[in-house]
Amino acid sequence: MTESITLALQHVRQRLADAERVAGRPAGSAQLLAVSKTFPAADVQQAYLAGQRAFGENYVQELQQKCAELAALDIEWHFIGPLQSNKTRPVAELAHWVHSVERLKIAERLSAQRPEALPPLNVCIQVNVSGEASKSGCAPEQALELARAVAALPRLALRGLMCIPEPTEDAARLAAQFALLRRLQQQLAAEGLALDTLSMGMSADLAVAVAEGATMVRIGTAIFGSRHYH
Ligand SMILES: *Cc1c(COP(=O)(O)O)cnc(C)c1O
Report if residue 229 sits inside a domain.
no
- pLDDT-derived band of residue 230, with 50, 70 and 90 as boundaries? low
Question: Which residues are bridge partners to 162 per DSSP?
Answer: 126, 199
Distance CA 193, CA 219 (A): 27
In a domain, 199, yes or no: yes
Distance 127 CA to ligand 1 centre (A): 15
Total number of domains in the chain: 1
**Hey, is 217 helix, strand or coil?**
strand
User: What CA–CA distances, in Å, run from 48 to 14, 36, 73, 105, 223?
Assistant: 17, 11, 8, 34, 12
CATH of the domain at 6: 3.20.20.10
pLDDT, tens digit (0-9, with 9 covering 90-100), for 53-85: 999 999 999 999 999 999 999 999 999 999 999
Residue 120 located in a structural domain? yes
| Domain of 134, in residue numbers | 2-224
pLDDT digits (tens, 9 = 90+) for 5-53: 999 999 999 999 999 999 999 999 999 999 999 999 999 999 999 999 9
Does residue 29 lie within any of the structural domains?
Answer: yes
Q: Residue whose CA is closest, atom 10 of ligand 1?
A: 218
pTM given for the model: 0.97
Assess whether the C-beta atom of 203 lies below 6 angstroms from ligand 1: yes
Q: Tell me the average pLDDT of the chain.
A: 97
Nearest to 25 by CA among 176, 162, 182, 144: 182
State if residue 129 touches ligand 1 by the CB under 6 angstroms criterion: no
Residue 230 lies in a domain: no
N residues, the chain: 230
Four-point Cα dihedral 57, 62, 63, 68, nearest 10? -140
